[in-house]
Amino acid sequence: MVNNNKSEKTVIGTNACATCPAHHVANLKKLGVNMESWDYVVALAGNPNTGKSTVFNALTGLKQHTGNWPGKTVTRAEGGFSYNDKRYKLVDLPGTYSLLSTSVDEEVARNFILFGRPDVTVIVVDATRLERNLNLVLQVLEITDRAVICLNLMDEARRHQLHIDDRLLSKELGVPVVPTSARQGDGIPDLLRAINDVATGVFVCQPHRIESGSKKLKRAINQLVTKIEAEYPRLTNPRWVALRLLEGDPQIIDAVRSGELGGLNVTADQMDAIAVG
Ligand SMILES: Nc1nc2c(ncn2[C@@H]2O[C@H](COP(=O)(O)OP(=O)(O)O)[C@@H](O)[C@H]2O)c(=O)[nH]1
Ligand SMILES: [Mg+2]
């Protein structure tokens, strides 16, 4: 299942500052999240019916409200909690099976992770349907290198005599994995600690990224990655961006051109230099 890519890990390690907040204040504002009274922003992702709302309630208690995503009819729950004197804003993303941006829900979830650059993305997975849930996990790990897996419904897994080696899973995915039974509140203190560890850089994630495709495609990706990295040295997902550019994803092309992606402003000439090469 896992095919570790050492060179990519090195790139991630040198580009990202693990202890600095990762979130993008200006982009978050556009996404309707004001960070003025918060230290960190945490996104909550997951397939539908994995207990995402239950986890959300367990983390935030009564400190929450609902509204809409800006310009969309998709509802959003927001809340907050404090841990170790730090204030965390928690944003519930729509429940999705993927981040391919083929539905409004998927687009909302993808854009929040990509442009908002949350300090931590918690991915709630159903421990009784791990394989199916890993699809979304791997897609999230392509976009962000700051994630925590909340392995929920562990009571159900135990009831079905399913044993999951959460330590091995964490090692293979390169991010913390926390077993929980959110309905009973089991594992929530561990989840809080893992969120805090990733947000503050105590745990530096080395997310697993799949390498697939033909030699020709890999060569094209590598060429593009070199150029993207030269223009956006702080980007943590150049390979994912390269793939989207090759696909001709209009949103990503715009984001590269406008500088929205890196929070940097590139000129049209620089963009053309990347695109034409
Ligand atoms: N047995 C069990 N049920 C859970 C757990 N977490 C959530 N649930 C239940 O699963 C159902 C779906 O939960 P919900 O939080 O609405 O899932 P969401 O669709 O991902 O937001 C609800 O009936 C919850 O009470 C858990 O850890 N164990
Ligand atoms: Mg829900």
- 74 Cβ contact partners less than 8 Å away, ≥ 6 residues apart: 68, 94, 104, 105, 108
Gap between the Cα atoms of 103 and 175, Å rounded: 27
Q: What is the pTM of this model?
A: 0.85
At which residue do the structure tokens 């330590």 appear?
167
d(CA 200, CA 177): 17
pLDDT of residue 191: 98
Average pLDDT score over residue span 205-231 = 89
User: Which residues neighbour 174 within 8 Å (Cβ) at sequence distance 6 or greater?
Assistant: 9, 141, 205, 206, 207, 208
Ligand 2: centre distance to CA 218 (Å): 38
Q: How far is the CA of 57 from the centre of ligand 2 (A)?
A: 10
The answer to whether 149 touches 203, Cβ cutoff 8 Å, is no
State the distance from the centre of ligand 2 to the C-alpha of 59, rounded, in angstroms. 14
Phi and psi at residue 68, to the nearest 5°:
-115, 155
Query: Chain-wide mean pLDDT for the chain?
Result: 88
Residue 158 in contact with ligand 1 by CB distance below 6 A: no
Q: Which of 183, 188, 190 to mutate to test the pocket of ligand 1 (most atoms within 8 A of CB)?
A: 183
Ligand 1 atom index nearest CA of 124: 20
Which of 52, 54, 188 maximizes ligand 1 atoms within 8 Å of its Cβ, making it the mutation to test the pocket? 54
Percent of the chain with pLDDT over 90: 69
pLDDT at site 205: 96
Q: What is the pLDDT of residue 275?
A: 54
Q: What is the pLDDT of residue 6?
A: 39
The answer on pLDDT for 210 being more than 90 is no
Q: Is 187 in the pocket of ligand 1 (CB under 6 A)?
A: no
pLDDT of res. 276: 52
CA 9 to chain centre: 16
Ligand 1 atom 4 nearest Cα: 183
Query: For residue range 166-177, what is the model confidence (pLDDT) as tens digits?
Result: 999 999 999 999
- Percentages (nearest 5) of helix, strand, coil residues in the chain: 45, 15, 35
pLDDT tier, 4 (very low <50, low <70, confident <90, very high otherwise): very low
Which ligand approaches the C-alpha of residue 185 most closely?
Answer: 1
- Give the mean pLDDT of 235-255: 88
> Does residue 125 line the site of ligand 1, with CB under 6 A?
no
- Please give the distance of CA 141 from its chain centroid, rounded to a whole number: 6
Alpha helices in the chain (DSSP H): 6-15, 25-30, 52-60, 104-116, 130-143, 154-159, 166-173, 188-200, 215-231, 238-247, 250-258, 268-276
Please give the distance, rounded to the nearest whole angstrom, from the Cα atom of residue 241 to the centre of ligand 1.
Answer: 34
Inform me whether the pLDDT recorded for 277 exceeds 80: no
Range 72-87 burial, b when 16+ CB lie within 10 A, else e: eebebbbbbbebeebe
Vertex 85 angle, CA 80 and 90, to 5°? 20
| Nearest residue to 130 (alpha-carbon basis) of 108, 152, 112, 103 | 152
**Does the C-beta of 186 come closer than 6 Å to ligand 1?**
no
Share of residues in the chain with pLDDT > 70 (%): 88
48 lines ligand 1 (CB under 6 A): yes
- pLDDT for residue 96: 96
Instruction: Decide: 156 in ligand 1 pocket, CB within 6 A.
Output: yes
Tens-place pLDDT, residues 58-111: 999 988 999 999 999 999 999 999 999 999 999 999 999 999 877 999 999 999
CB of 44 shorter than 6 A to ligand 1: no
